[in-house]
Structure 1
Amino acid sequence: MGRYVRFLFTAFCFVFLYSGSAQSLLDDEQSVLKEFENTNAPKERFNVFFNSIDRYNQNSAYDWLDTIKIYLANAQKTEDTTALRLYQIMQAQIYNDLGEYDKSTTLAKELYAVKDSLDRETQVAMLDVLDDNYANLQLFDKQIEIRKQKKEMGITDNVSFYDIYSNLGLYRVARNQYIMEVKPTIADNDSYGLAKYHSKVGNYLRLDNSAPTALSELKKAKAYLDVYLNDISIQKSEDEIFESDLLKAEIEGNIGKCHVMLGEYEQAIPLLESSIEVLDTSSKNSHKSEMVENTLYLADANLQLDRFLAAKRNLDIEYDNIGILQVIKRNSLLAAYYDRVENYKNSAMYYKRNERIKDSMAQKQSSIIKQQLVTIVANEDLENSQRLIEEQKRINELARSEMKAKDERINLVFISLIFTLLGFAGLVYAYLKSIKNQRLIAEQKHIIENALTEKDSLLKEIHHRVKNNLQMVSSLLSLQTKNTRSKAAIEALEEGKSRVKAMALIHQKLYQNDDLSVIEMQGYIESLINSVQSVYKKGGHNISITIDAEGTELDIDRAIPFGLILNELVSNSFKYAFPDNDENGKIYIHLRKNGDQGYFEYTDNGVGLPEDTEERTHSSMGIRLMNRLVNQLQSKLNIEKQSEGVRFWFNFS
């Protein structure tokens, strides 16, 4: 019996240790960057990089970029030309993933110049990067040259142009060419291929504003994909399952967009949300663009359902890469949102932004499309030209058929002419009515603009008066300081004066801004430090102060507590941090806000906090004041003693 128990115990320990080891190995395998670093040869690293379907699963593109630069520098030192070119094409691909297409193109073109010295896999990767870069830069003539190069090298059998037509907005032409080229190549039992095919056709129909027909095609695509995923007879790798999940997310996102176009907002929202969540795991630029599009449609649906907070959250998301048409749509939605919440100033601002963008596009768009179409036609190969000839023959046959029926339609011409005249009269009436309506709209717009101007003037006057009143309070405190002999009282009055100046500075910045709702914090912090230095004339002038808050804006509800907190910290540094000499003194101030989340950090390299800091926390007015102000920002003040100096930091929303 004892042996049996010992055997069971040993087996249990073995299983436990094995499962722990297996889990550890699994965690290691999940990081593609770690697998890349553990690989020895440059060519093997190249294969890990390009064969991984989700290389950014645990590490960002910037982590990859830093790692690649290290290997690139080593290859340059050792003059390993082969390794150097492999790392260059990987670097070009990362810049492409980050949306920095110009940098990526520059690197890839250097390799294109020496393409004959590259092996086939490197050539394919280099041409694929250039193909995608030129598509995103709308240099379609150069993209066609790359595709012809691929065909000459035997990388592709045919040069396809349907995606270029789509990028030019010719969705019907793109759909017809896609059907002609792709449909014959798909087997009847290829469920996954049929899912991709119907997904692409459905998306072209959606882009061509045929939402009901598009919805039918997209539902077919989803049904075929479900058949593929549920077919247990087909062995699927992890990469294939991941690709299937991304395709499903694309299909569901496009179905959701069709529901928005049809006014079926409740049905659209869950589909768009799930699609965004899955597409966020992909590193492909096409999926990132799809994510932006889905987010804009989600904001539109929430806005139509009067869910203003949800719509604003969707519209406030910042993306690295966003197309010009997406910018126009986002501005339109923001204008509509501010209209609905009666913030007409911001609404007018976004309408004006779109007008400027559209005016700029109108000057270029027509000539660009004509130029690109000429390039495409001039570069299409013999097979595509033959298809155009066949299409022209079909059109000629239809023309002959119409000529035969011409005699039968002559009698209808006179009737059509009468209806045309009646229609013309109706158009003239509608035109005159339209002119009248436009005049009324112009008058109403003038009234609204005057009201907005008057409102801005009143708000600026209020902030100006508040600032003057606070300056008066500061002056009164200065007078009281001159009439006071107590050193403690003078210090307290000076501290109060500094705090009042910090608040007055907020209102000064507001009435000086064009936008009265937010304050640009970089300039405010610089002004605040100058103000504190004027109070503490004996210190702080040799201290090196670094401010990292460029581009950060806060509203008045957050700016006032933040200004008072910073006033306390800078004052304490000037008074206590450098008692002997401030020549090597350093202060670092960091402030960032991304969407709803913010982060503040303050450090100096002074003498640091005394040992009884925790006891002083309850008696020190400055620390108690900072804690209360941080509580107003719904956060907690963190204090960290360092070997040199002290660090204060907190997150806020």
Structure 2
Amino acid sequence: MLLRTLFFILLITPGPLYKAVAQVKLTDSLRHELTGVMQDTSRVLLLSELCLQYRLSNPDSAMGFGQQALQLARQIDYTKGEVDALGNIGFVMREIGNLPNALKLEFKAYQLAQANGDFYEMGRIRNIIGNIYLDLKDFDTALTYYQQARQNHTLVRNQIGLAITESNIGSTYEQMNQLDSAWTYEYRAYQNVLRLNLINNLPYVLRILGNIQTKWGDLGLAMTYYQKSKQVAVKENNLRNVAFANMAIARLYSRKNQLDSCLYHAKISLEESQQGSYKRGVLMASTLLAETYQYVNDREALRYYKLAAETKDYLYGEANFQAIRSIAFDEQERQRDLESAQLKYQHQVRQYTLLISLAILLVIALILWRNNLQKQKANALLFQQKVKISQQSDQLALLMQELHHRVKNNFAIVASLLNLQSHGLKDEKAIQAMRAGQQRIEAMSLIHQRLYMTDQLTSVNMEEYLTDLATGLMQAYGYHSANFELVFTIEHKQLDVDAAMPLGLIGNELITNSLKHAYGNVPQPWLGIGLFWDKSDLVLEVHDNGSGLDLINWGKNGSRISFGKQLIGSLSNQLGARVEVRQQGGARFRIYVPGTSLKNAQIPFPAQSILV
């Protein structure tokens, strides 16, 4: 109720909507524009638009313009113009009550629009066909065409067509007495008519809203809608809607039992409807006049009953209904034939698609078969090559093991020769030199022994190697595990042979140095050997608990530098390493090897100490 009250306030408030009265009438403007247009498509559309506009005030002129538009459109083979003209001529015929021909023309227009895929015209024509079925009180069919029209309008974003069709849907629901649905559609149409400035459609919308209010029982608000509808129609020279507004006002006075006012407006409506040949208006006005006069003047009542009967027979006579049924049946048959042709075409398309798909699948299968055959050949070749490479790898591994074994044996022979040679010497320094050389050779031999005893032909297990090296040197210098403690902290267990060899020799020199010089007066000798990471450097550490060493003399580089110190320096340079010597409860040597100079170097898990 609040919504209707607000609408009433809006309705009676003056606004810019009716400024159109000060403008030149649309029909005059179109006729003036027509004088400067040649015999082309633009002229067809102008003539057709004049037909549409004159239907509201002068149906005879409307028919004349429509026929001219249709003739010119066919002459220049302009299908869209032909569709537009046929639709508008049918619209005029519907207004004057010639419903069979109106429906026939609209179906013809729809057929052309459908063939051209013109969804704009299809929506417009479906709306007019819905109007014809609404005149026939076939509400279900009318709503079907209106909903189809809405779909077409929405598809092409035709806001004007959508607003008009929704107004017609509202009118249909009003005549079906489904007033809530009627109000929803009609009020939305009213808003869109205002927004789009559709002045010629406003009187119709206002009149339908008045009908809804009448059925709701709000006769005062209904009268306001009817008066406003009439006011706008008069200003726009819209004779049809003036006549229909007067008819609605007459009915409202009849309901209020104000018979004089009812007769007055009904007579005006009848006169206007006869002037415009609006048969539906004539029928409604004459029927109301006959019903009203039966209480006051039988003669007048009979006269108007006779007019109403003639008009009703013209509009809804059996011949008309038969003609309409025949036209509708023909259209339904055409639509069925069209749907059948479409189904047949779709079936053929599906068959062709299936055949093409099968052909494509066959080609794909052949390609896959060929690729699979080539893949099998390639796999067989790869397998043969893999077997060959595996055999070569096994042979290479065997050769490498044999090579390391032979190198180890050669080192052992050299070490034995040095040992034999030392037995014939009398000079103690010469004997010590021979012994040191023998130990260096044995240190290198031990690496090759590790290599040929494992599957790792290019890397050395440094934990095992350093343990064996230190244990062997400890025993060689007369120490035993019972009275000598060896502690190993090995984080980096695997080391490439290129780095393992120089580090092994450096370790041999440092361990030998500690065993020879560190433990003169130490009751419980201890030696720590480590290989761990310090940031990005791999560190070899040899740390004893002996008497220490003279760091000043160690740092000097004189002509009498020992061979062991020279060897440590040379091997460190080979590795790009730096040597650190500290006095820390004995001598502590550290060799820092950059990780970037090591192959496949990775920082291992945290170190764990092994006590021997």
Of structures 1 and 2, the larger Rg is shown by: 2
Q: TM-score, normalised by structure 2?
A: 0.41
